Structure 1
Amino acid sequence: MTERSPKRSFATRPANPESWIKASDTPSARGSADGGYTARLTIDVTSELRGRIKIAAFQRGVTVAEMLRDLLAREFSSTEGDPS
């Protein structure tokens, strides 16, 4: 059997999670509304849940992305003393 390459593979866990998280902080092509950095996040959801999310966003008069960004910002707000 052949020996594995010493280079990091796609699923290799980082030695230092903090530096790994901050390493992806590069300016995106679109940028964010506040001129900061953005990062793409991909999740798998069922077709049924995707439909409910789209309906909720439509009823609120916002895009799915805007609604989910707000939801995530509320859930993971940066607070005083938060290490992030």
Structure 2
Amino acid sequence: MNDRRAPRTFASRPGGADKWVRAPDPRHASNGATAEFSARLTIDVTPDLRGRIKIAAFQHGVTVAHMLRDLLSREFPPSEGDTP
């Protein structure tokens, strides 16, 4: 009745930030292929800003995700030596 399992542990901290950031994401699509957009980014914004973002995306005829990926790509272009 008393099922004792080993306690869960937290993942260890990465040895180097650069190595950790560039490490591939382990998540995969259901068919085993790596998903094109496999990293998720969560930010907190005000309800007013969220509304403005949604309206802008609608006016441009794109999804919020597509518009924000495009904006972030323009703001943070690949650096010299980065892999695409």
Is TM-score (shorter-chain normalized) higher than 0.5?
yes
CA distance in structure 2 between the partners assigned to 1:45 and 1:82 by the alignment: 32
RMSD: 2.6
State the 1:8 CA deviation: 5.1
CA distance in structure 2 between the partners assigned to 1:14 and 1:59 by the alignment: 42
Amino acid at match of 1:71: L
- 5+ residue gaps, structure 1, are 1-6
CA distance in structure 2 between the partners assigned to 1:22 and 1:82 by the alignment: 12
> Could you say which structure has the greater relative contact order, defined with CA pairs below 8 angstroms and 6 or more residues apart?
1
- 5+ residue gaps, structure 2, are 1-8
Query: What TM-score results when the alignment is normalised by the length of structure 1?
Result: 0.66
Aligned residue number for residue 47 of structure 2: 47
State the 1:25 CA deviation: 2.3
Distance 1:83 1:24, change over 3 A: closer
CA distance in structure 2 between the partners assigned to 1:29 and 1:46 by the alignment: 32
Query: What TM-score results when the alignment is normalised by the length of structure 2?
Result: 0.66
Is the 1:24–1:39 Cα contact (8 Å) retained in structure 2?
A: no
Q: Secondary structure at the match of 1:26?
A: coil
CA distance in structure 1 between the partners assigned to 2:51 and 2:28 by the alignment: 28
CA offset digits 1:37-75 (Å, max 9, x no partner): 520000000000000000000000000000000000000
State the 1:83 CA deviation: 5.7
Q: Secondary structure at the match of 1:78?
A: coil
Aligned length: 71
Aligned residue number for residue 3 of structure 1: none
